[in-house]
C-alpha cells in the first residue's frame, strides 16, 4: 500500500510541474510528457524528471528515429530532415534517458526532435545537457522543461513544414531536502563558445519570450521567488 501511495504521489507531483495547458495536444510517454504544436510539427515543450537513476551506463544509445504514434495529427518524419542541413535535435536528451530500454527508445520519437544547427546541437546545447545531468547528481531530484522558441523562426524544412527555431530554452527546478531552487537558459540556435552560464536567465524571461506559464501550481510566494531568479550562483549554492 505504501509503495502504491508513493508512486501515486510522485505522479501527482510530476503533473503539478507541467506548464499550463493550451489547445495543443498533451502526450504522455512513460518517461516524459510533451505538448505537440501541429503548426510547428514539434513539441513546444518536453518535461521530464532527472535523478541518478537516469544514468545507467549499461543502457546504450539506440538511434531508432521514428514517428510518434500518439500524435493525433501525425508527427514530423525522418524525411523532413533529409538534406536540410539541420540535426534532429533531442529535447529530452537520449543521454538523460538511460533508465532502461523503454526510456531510451521513447527519446527517439520524432515528436521529441527539433531542427538544430549541427554546431549548436553538438556544441553549446550538448554542454548544457551534460551540465544538467551533473546537477541532477547534486540535487535530490531535478525537473526539466525544455523546448524551442517558436516565434520568428529562422527557417522551415520538409514537406510537413517543420519550423526551425531561433533559440531553445531549459527551465530547471531542483529539490534538495527542504530547499527549492530554479534557473533557466535561453540559447540561440547557433554555434557558441561562450560559457553556458552566460545564457542563464530567469524563468520569468522564458515565460515572456514563449508565452508559456510554468510552475503555476506552486504557491504564489514560492513561484514568484523561483521564477524571478536569474543568478546562476544562487542555483549552484544548493549544497551550502
Distance separating alpha carbons of residues 141 and 179, to the nearest angstrom? 11
Return the closest-CA partner of residue 149 out of 202, 205, 209. Answer: 209
Distance separating alpha carbons of residues 103 and 228, to the nearest angstrom? 32
User: Diameter of the chain by CA atoms?
Assistant: 53
Is 90 among the residues known to form the active site?
yes
- Other C-beta atoms closer than 10 Å to the C-beta of 25 total 15
Instruction: Tell me which of 29, 49, 88, 90 is the catalytic residue.
Output: 90
CA 208 to chain centre: 17
Q: C-alpha grid cell for residue 218?
A: 506552486
Catalytic residues: 90
Amino acid at each position: 500500500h505504501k509503495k502504491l501511495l508513493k508512486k501515486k504521489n510522485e505522479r501527482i507531483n510530476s503533473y503539478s510541474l507541467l506548464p499550463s495547458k493550451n489547445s495543443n495536444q498533451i502526450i504522455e510517454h512513460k518517461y516524459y510528457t510533451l505538448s505537440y504544436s501541429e503548426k510547428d510539427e514539434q513539441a513546444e515543450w518536453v518535461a521530464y524528471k532527472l535523478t541518478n537513476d537516469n544514468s545507467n551506463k549499461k543502457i546504450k544509445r539506440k538511434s531508432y528515429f521514428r514517428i510518434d504514434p500518439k500524435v493525433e495529427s501525425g508527427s514530423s518524419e525522418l524525411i523532413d530532415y533529409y538534406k536540410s542541413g539541420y540535426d534532429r535535435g533531442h529535447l529530452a536528451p537520449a543521454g538523460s534517458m538511460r533508465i532502461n530500454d523503454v526510456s531510451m527508445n521513447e527519446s527517439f520519437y520524432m515528436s521529441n526532435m527539433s531542427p538544430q544547427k549541427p554546431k549548436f546541437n553538438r556544441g553549446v546545447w550538448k554542454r548544457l545537457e551534460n551540465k544538467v545531468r551533473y546537477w541532477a547528481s547534486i540535487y535530490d531530484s531535478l525537473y526539466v522543461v525544455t523546448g524551442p522558441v517558436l516565434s520568428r523562426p529562422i527557417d522551415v524544412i520538409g514537406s510537413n513544414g517543420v519550423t526551425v527555431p531561433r533559440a531553445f530554452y531549459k527551465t530547471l527546478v531542483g529539490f534538495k531536502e527542504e530547499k527549492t531552487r530554479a534557473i533557466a537558459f535561453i540559447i540561440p540556435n547557433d554555434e557558441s563558445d561562450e560559457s553556458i552560464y552566460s545564457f542563464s536567465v530567469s524563468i520569468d524571461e522564458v515565460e515572456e519570450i514563449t508565452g508559456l506559464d510554468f510552475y503555476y501550481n506552486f504557491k504564489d510566494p514560492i513561484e514568484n521567488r523561483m521564477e524571478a531568479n536569474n543568478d546562476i550562483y544562487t542555483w549552484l549554492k544548493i549544497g551550502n
